[in-house]
Amino acid sequence: MTEADLYTLYKGVYVPTVIHTPESLKYFEEFKFRPDDVLIATYPKSGTTWMQEVVPLILSGGDPASVETLHNWDRVPWLEEKQALVLNLDERPSPRMLTTHFHYDMMPASFFKVKPKVIYVMRN
């Protein structure tokens, strides 16, 4: 397997091909944000999972059932990964909780029009 098989260059960033398929990247580009969406934007390995546990607790008023019934990747899915294709995100009630590792300048057009809420996690 060559490096070209392992990674895809997307908007100047190499992403793992196994979870970032052409279909999932197209879905990301065409994704329609809502004004009350909550987007967790993180650099990989900087607290993503932690935020995927904390945000549902905040939005549910601290109800632990909100984090005990679904895995975090189903509860607060990554928009750019192929799993998003099967989760019917358009049918989820508001506010939807979403995750991305993509940069600000990689966001779909609807992000800039609708301006969803963003939680940006940064570490040094």
Q: pLDDT exceeding 70 applies to what percent of the chain?
A: 100
Mind listing the pLDDT tens digit for each residue in 41-82? 999 899 999 999 999 999 999 999 888 988 888 999 999 999
Q: What domains are defined for the chain? A: 3-121 (3.40.50.300)
What does the pLDDT average to over 12-28? Answer: 96
Mind listing the pLDDT tens digit for each residue in 108-117? 999 999 999 9
| Separation of alpha carbons 10 and 119, rounded Å | 23
Q: What is the mean pLDDT of the chain?
A: 94
**Is pTM beyond 0.75 here?**
yes
Q: Which residue has the higher pLDDT, 15 or 124?
A: 15
Q: For residue 62, what are its two tokens?
A: 């601290």
Are β-strands 7-10 and 13-16 bridged in parallel, bridged antiparallel, or unpaired? antiparallel
Q: Which residues are identified as catalytic?
A: 101
Question: Above 80 in pLDDT, residue 124?
Answer: no
Contacts of 117 (CB under 8 A, 6+ apart): 36, 37, 38, 39, 95
